[in-house]
Amino acid sequence: MNKNIFASYLSLFTSMGTLLCCALPSFLVLLGAGAVFSSLISTVPQLIWISKYKIWVFSIAGAMLVITGILQYGAKGITCPLEKNKAIACGKSRKISIFIYWLSLVFYVLGFFAAFILPYII
């Protein structure tokens, strides 16, 4: 079960990278907060690097989401221990892992929309 939680957190981390590179700048500019975006870029210049290599960022994040999804699907059939404390911990970790996975997926989709679809709509 620890592998699933680790993979979920890793997919959340990579999905947050997609939000930082693409969704956050688009959202700030859409709100008219260009000055905030400019100061954010000057404070965290790594955002430009992430934006420059957004195809790699999205590819790695997508691969992590696929791997995590496979691990989540494979963990469905695993039963929790019979001991009360271990069973409770197992159930909680499964719920947390699934929640983090779906949250990561939402972040990924939002970032993908902001990076690849929104520029062609606006």
- Could you report the per-residue pLDDT of 63-72, keeping only the tens digit for each? 888 988 888 8
Q: Are the beta carbons of 15 and 104 closer than 8 angstroms?
A: yes
Range of the domain at 53: 2-121
User: What pLDDT was estimated at residue 108?
Assistant: 86
With a cut of 60, say whether residue 57 has pLDDT above it.
Answer: yes
- Could you report the per-residue pLDDT of 5-19, keeping only the tens digit for each? 677 777 777 777 777
pTM of the predicted model as reported, rounded to 2 decimal places: 0.77
Based on the structure, what is the number of domains in the chain? 1
Cα separation, 110 vs 22, in Å, equals 9
Three-state SS for 76?
coil
